Amino acid sequence: MLIVAEIALVALVALAYGSRALHLARIGQPVPISRLLCAAVGLVSLLASMVVLASPGRELLYWRTVQHLLIGDLACLLIAIGLTRSILAPLARTPLRLLAPLTRAPVALTLWIANLLVWQWPSIFEATMRHDSLTLLQEVLLVATGLNMWSALLRRIAGPRPQISERNSVAYVLIGRAAGIGLACIGIWSPDVYYPYFLRSDTASSTSPLADQGIAGAIMLAEMALIAICLLLWMRSRVMRPAPAPATVHVPVEPAQAAHSTAGASALAMDTQT
């Protein structure tokens, strides 16, 4: 039943996005192809992580970590790139508009970090491994907070004057990535196994629980660092991009005025010759 619910949720999001994109194309406001591709790859990654990695994620922690990083981080980033103001415009006419204060950058980042840390608490993590309803709630919140966090950042980066918000955007990225990297380092260097659920891996797999936890931490560390580097380089390229040259305004000249100017120029030339 969990897999059916997950497929239904992803299909619902894909249907809503696709129908809105088709409507915008019909009225002459098409979504750029690059954004459509990002959204499509993000949705496919989301579905694949929920369905394909579900079984391995119950055997080894590092597969569970890969699954959650895809769901709450990488897939959400790709989907957020595919979102535009036109795509999101209908939400302003629904009760979801009341959640607008939660989309502000500091609040969005705080919610994402809090959601990331809460689900890693050992007792809560154990409960999600044993109850499908909690697993589904976890995945929904990972997607919701991930989309909210990345959308808030992209609004800053993609603004008309990125130089103004460069420092805030860099701090936004570094703080968010630091939370994930700190969590990853705990998994790498801890001498204890935090999740008893995976202790049975001693017999189910050749990977020991402690090594499994260390691999999971290394995967999270690499993913967090790689995304941070890519985003910082992208922001730097936008800031260093030269400003567009001002457009030249051509003032139309009336025929009579043009004839008068031509006659004046001819007279001036004759006077110069004499």
Is the pTM of the predicted complex or chain greater than 0.85? no
pLDDT, position 274: 44
What's the mean pLDDT in 75-103?
89
Say what the pLDDT of residue 73 is: 94
Chain centre to alpha carbon of residue 75? 7
Longest dimension (CA), the chain: 110
- The tens digit of pLDDT for each residue in 120-176 reads 999 999 999 989 999 999 999 999 999 999 999 988 776 655 544 677 888 999 999
User: Which tops the pLDDT comparison, 216 or 266?
Assistant: 216
Res 242: pLDDT: 55
Residue 268's pLDDT is what? Answer: 39
Rounded-to-integer distance, Cα 179 and Cα 228, Å: 12
- Residues 175 and 214: their CA atoms lie apart, in Å, by 23
What does the DSSP assignment read for 139-181? HHHHHHHHHHHHHHHHHHHTSS-TTTTHHHHHHHHHHHHHHHH
pLDDT tens for 39-67 read 999 999 999 999 999 888 888 999 999 99
Of 149, 119, 111, 137, which is closest to residue 6 (Cα–Cα)? 137
Of the two residues 270 and 126, the one the predictor is more confident about is: 126
